[in-house]
Amino acid sequence: MNSLPFTDARSAKDWLILLPLINTPVAHAELSHAMRALATSDLSALESLKALELLRESVHDVQFALLAEYAAKPLPLNTHEQAQWLAACDMWESMADAYARCWEAAVIKDAVVHEFLALLAQRTLRCLGFVIRGFYTVGQKVPDVIWQKTFACYRLAEEQHICEQKVKDSLLHAGETTTTQAVFIHALLLSAANPGQHTLKRLLWIDQRLELLALRSSIALAAPAVPGKTALQIDLNHPAPPQRMGAPLQGASVREIDTLALAQVLSKRIKQLRQGEMPEELGLGKEFGLQVTMDLLLDLYRFWCDHGTERAPREATARTVPVILGLHAQHRYVMDGQYQAPPHEAGFGSRDLLDLHLFGDVASTRQAAAVHALPPIELWEVINETAQGLRLSRRAQQGERISLNQLMVVKTSSRYLAGAVRWLEESDGQLHVGMVLLPGLPKSAAIRPSETTRSDATYTDVVLLPAMVALKAPTSLLLPIGWFRMGRQCELWNGTSMIKIKLLTLLERGSDFERVYFTELIL
């Protein structure tokens, strides 16, 4: 049994004063130990509750400070990131267990804490909600045991008829009160928001908005939904995220989430944004601009209120395809023997002279000698395929780490396709990605800035995406991160000829690429 670093609420307050909160690793370790001890100690329920409430804000602060150590990293996590993430999950779950121990005492009519039944239920479920969110911040599937624990707590709250009792919560970003039911809905809706497609910043934005949105909804045996659609459903006897597709669930243990109320709130906000009102004026924060905020709300509307309309996969036969990662490697592969390197200009530049002095040759000579050594590729299994994208899978440890919005080039049949990772999850030792195709069949190209004063400016390997008239998609370039600057003039080598171009618009920024629209300069 873990030993408590304090003996009651008063000494817990003194202990907290001496805790070096500015030193996140030390503070996190100390608070984690205290949470585990509180979950198993014989300290009275009232003193435990007081101590938990005293420590609660500090726990939130150090957990948020630790977030940068593991969240939104490429998958699979490395050893350090994995350890930090597991430590964060352990603290939230230990805190949930500590509140649950007090709740158990209140259930058996401990007169001193019985009046705090609703608060204890809300706190327990909120901590479990943070565990669930923690899995999504690292692209992991939430284990069944966490859902079972969460559902068991809600079933107990239902039996005690405390689900809709209001509870004060000083750590809410908006409002001052919530309910146990709202906290449960919060966790369910976060899981139904397709969290694998969201960056950390967007996921945290959705999490904050749910503090209010969850209060607008409710759970019932039969809940209203958008006309022509069904409500999101759960089965208390079979804990899992809300069902979004398939035949409606049946039985006394089935509950439905009111998605009509959510649709009305979201529709109103979307309409106001379209009319030009700013997100912060509507309680939607300042993190994103008007268009991004509106796109997020439209996504949430589709996931929560207009669900069940996804297309079935066009292709179900499993096969493997080569996947190329990294812009330089992608450039090398898609040239496919039809690309001629840019002509080498006469004369030596300063870089060439330095190379000649140090190595006895110039960089271009060494590059030419190594041009035949193609970078390695990875083999991924195609799980399904549509006209817009692919779902791919491979063993997590058998390849490079993958990021959300990373550029991928896939060779399928006799052609190459370029796409970006729009959905990412790791489960059961497998890495799963949803890749959305970019318009245009990729071609090799090279680019260099024309505004430079250096006469020996080298070319950067890039990929050209020709226009697709059917999709009304213009010709675009895939450039390294940081290359785009509006109005920047460059020389583009398309494999056969040199053209002068001007970069006009950043169409998309990924984790390792920029897709840019440009125009040819008439000289």
Rounded Cα distance, 365 and 346, in Å: 14
What count of other Cβ atoms lies within 10 Å of the Cβ of residue 37?
20
The answer to whether the peptide bond before residue 313 is cis (omega within 30 degrees of 0) is no
Are 208 and 285 contacting, i.e. CB atoms less than 8 angstroms apart?
Answer: yes
> Kindly report the CA angle at 20 between 16 and 25, in degrees rounded to 5?
115
Say what the pLDDT of residue 349 is.
47
Strands (E), 228-331: 232-235, 254-257, 319-325
Phi, psi at residue 250, to the nearest 5°?
Answer: -130, 150
Rounded Cα distance, 87 and 32, in Å: 8
DSSP of 403-462, one letter per residue?
-TT-EEEEEETTEEEEEEEEEEEEETTEEEEEEEEPSS--EEEEEEESS-S-TTPPPEEE
Buried b (16+ CB within 10 A) or exposed e, 498-514: eeebebeeebeebbbbb
Question: Is the alpha carbon torsion for 164, 168, 170, 174 positive or negative?
Answer: positive
Alpha helices of 108-219 — where are they, by DSSP H? 117-137, 144-159, 180-191, 200-216
Q: What is the DSSP letter of 115?
A: G
> How confident is the prediction along the chain (523 residues), in pLDDT tens digits per residue?
568 999 999 999 999 999 999 999 999 999 999 999 999 999 999 999 999 999 999 999 999 999 999 999 999 999 999 999 999 999 999 999 999 999 998 888 667 888 899 999 999 999 999 999 999 999 999 999 999 999 999 999 999 999 999 999 999 988 899 999 999 999 999 999 999 999 999 999 999 999 999 999 999 999 999 998 888 999 999 999 997 766 788 899 999 999 999 999 999 999 999 999 999 999 999 999 999 999 999 999 999 998 654 444 444 567 899 999 999 999 999 987 778 888 764 444 455 444 544 554 444 444 444 455 778 899 999 999 888 899 999 999 999 999 999 999 999 888 999 999 999 999 999 999 999 999 999 999 999 998 654 555 689 999 999 999 887 889 999 999 999 999 999 999 988 889 999 999 999 999 999 999 999 987 6
